[in-house]
Each structure stands twice: as structure tokens, then as C-alpha cells.
Amino acid sequence: MAATGAADKAKPMAGVLVLDCATFIAGPTCATLLGEFGAEVIKVELPGTGCPLRKFGTMTEVGASLPWLSESRNKKSLTLDLRTPGGADILKRLAAQSHILIENFQPGTMEGWGLGWEDLKAVNPALVMVRITAYGQTGPYRDRPGFGRIANAFGGISYLAGDPDRPPVTPGSATLPDYMSGLYGALGAMMALRVAERTGEGQVVDLGLYESIFRILDELAPAYAYNGTVRERMGPGTVNVCPHSHYPTADGKWIAIACTNDKIFARLAALMGHPELAGEGKWGKTADRLAARSEVDAFVADWTARYTAAELLEMCEGGQVPCGRLLSIAEIFEDPQYAARGNIARMAHAVLGEVAVPNVVPRLMGTPGEIESLGPELGADTDAILEDLLGLGAEERAALKAKGAI
């Protein structure tokens, strides 16, 4: 996303140095978001093997996966074995110059290498340390391993996903908690950075993968505490409003219709040719429709099945009824709204040619973010980083390499 009309303006995170010591998706996403808006991000990877994300997902002929190329955008790669004294010493020296360090090892791992919060704070009191783990740094489950699927399950969203008479399913993507936690991690890092800039005191941003899922479960927690309600699986429906689901079309597609209040239902009823159902009619009030959910959904589905998706979209748009297609990724690539917003960035790669990746979000009109490069080759920037930031000459770097530190 080019900084059109703002090329001379610094990006919001310009001047911020980030050490990304994390692996897979959650922690690295946090760093990626900061890098898209101007932070200098150094990706710290194990010599020889690199971050596991390099081999996760669809592989390409350059030996790196598509997730790596997309999610490690705008980063420099530094190989460093933190388990060695030399590697740990290098990280400390880099941390002394950095603003944010991100890691997602199991609790206690960094401490075992002499790189825990107390160790890093000693060399840089203003450092912000983002720590994303399965369950956070505290609590009886702190030492348990976990990935996004486990966070979906423990966070409460998997229980809600699927049809009532079938087993729970993955809610959209097993990586949802990783991306959500990356977002919350970046938000926490920026807030902590403001404090550090004001007071000179850094702090830890502590986040469990499951917490980002639990946070988005709307009224689930207060409803249970208030009246003991345990929400069950409802398929494509939702608990508080109806009709609010997915409905078939005459051309074999699906549309989503959202009637979040009585006024919108009245518009839909008029479109269906039955205005008498709304207002003082039998389904005019939300409570009436919820009590007859199956009947209402069946009535709407019978109506949508008579028209094509395009016809339904045109009618609903004209009648001010929220409606949208359920798009496959192939349809997303052809959709004019995605094109108009530039939601798909097409990046040039020396070997692969054009690589399509999701573009930067959010959209800042004055100082927009930008994708400057795809995920780097392993260790591509090791020499430059060590020489430019730490002043290490060729002999010193060779000695570190001989010891397996880089």
C-alpha cells in the first residue's frame, strides 16, 4: 500500500526497533503489524533451520512457504542461537538498543537462557517485552503447550461453532487466535511504548492465546453470570436476533441476511411480499421471531431460493436490508470491492514472479502502512545487522559463526 500523497511523512512507527524472537504466527504477526507501519523489525531465527513458519503451509520452489512470504513481510532475518552464550549475549546487546522485543516460547524458556524480563530490563529499562503463550505467564496452566486450535477450544468459540446435532467444528480457521493475539499484542506494545517514552520505564505485555478468543464472545460471560445461560451451537444462526443467517439462492449459492431489529425485518417482509408479517403482525417483534426461529428461517429460505444471488443482492440493497454473498477466495479475487480498496497486494518476487498477499490493515489516510518486501531468506541480514548496530567486524562474526551462535 503505497504512501500516496504522503511520501515525505514518516510512518507512525518510524524509528522504533523491534526484535521478533517469536515463531509461527501470533508473535510474528504482532511484529509484522508494527513493521507495516514503519518499525524496523529484526527477525531472530535459529541458524540452519530458521522459524518453523518457513516450512508451514504451501511450499514454493524457493524453499519458503507462502505463509512465510506473506506473514514475514518487511522483516530482516538475523540468525542467532539464543541457547548459546554468544547468541544470548548478542540478543542482549541488540535489546539494549531496541524498543520492543517479542517472544512466544513456553514460560521460563527465556529465563533459562538468561534472557528473561529481569535480564533484559537490566540492559534496557525502557524495553517493552511482548510475551504471547498458550495460557499466559501465570496460572496453573502456564506451562502447557498450545496452538491456535487449542486456544479456540479453551477460549470458548469452538463450543459454539457448528450445527446443534453435530460435533463442534473449527470456527473459520485454527489460526484465528494467532492473528487475534497478534493484534492485541501489537496494541499492547504500542500502549506500553507510550508509557516508556513518557516515563522511561518499560514493561511486559503478557497475553495468552485463548484470551483473545474469550474477549470477543460478546455477551457470553455476562449472560452466564446473570442468569445461567449456556449458549449452544446454532449453526449459522445467532442468539439474539432472527432472521440472521445464511440462505440458499436459485443459482446454488448462499447469501447472508442480517435483520438486527424490527425495522429491518419490516423492510425484508415488504421485499418478500408479506408486509403484514411485520409491525403488529405475528413476527413483527424480535421476541416473536426468536420464538418461531425455525419457521421464520424456513420462510426466508423459501423466498431466497426463488432468486439468484445477484437478484437478491439488488433487491436487498434497494430495500435497505443488509445482505451479502458468502464468497470463496476465488470470488474474492474477482470482486470489485476488494479491487477498489486494494485489499489484495501483488508483490514482485525475484523467483516466483507475482505473489498475492492480504494488504495492510487498517488504512491510515495520512501516514499509511506499506508492504516493502516479502519474507526474507534465512540470515539474509545477519552480517549487516551485526556490523551496523553492534559494530562487529568480519573476524568477530566469523568467530561467532564458528561457535554456532550465528
Distance (Å, rounded) from C-alpha 27 to C-alpha 33? 10
Q: Exposed, middle or buried by CB within 10 Å (0-12, 13-18, 19+), for 401?
A: middle
The Cα-based distances of 209 to 111, 137, 163, 171, 202 in angstroms read 20, 11, 25, 15, 22
List the grid coordinates of 42.
Answer: 529484526
- For every residue of 33-57, which 3-state class applies, written as one string? HHHHCCCEEEEEECCCCCCHHHHCC
Name the DSSP class of 141.
Answer: T
Contacting residues for 118 by C-beta, under 8 A, at least 6 apart? none
Q: From the candidates 178, 218, 251, 388, give the one annotated as an active-site residue.
A: 178
Answer yes or no: 81 catalytic. Answer: no
CB 171 within 8 A of CB 160: yes
Secondary structure of the chain: what % helix, strand, coil (to 5)? 40, 15, 45
Beta strands 75-79; 244-248: pairing state: unpaired
Beta strands 100-103; 17-20: pairing state: parallel
Which of 209, 206, 229 is CA-nearest to residue 219?
Answer: 229
List the grid coordinates of 144.
Answer: 502447557
CB 202 within 8 A of CB 129: yes
By annotation, the residues acting in catalysis are: 178
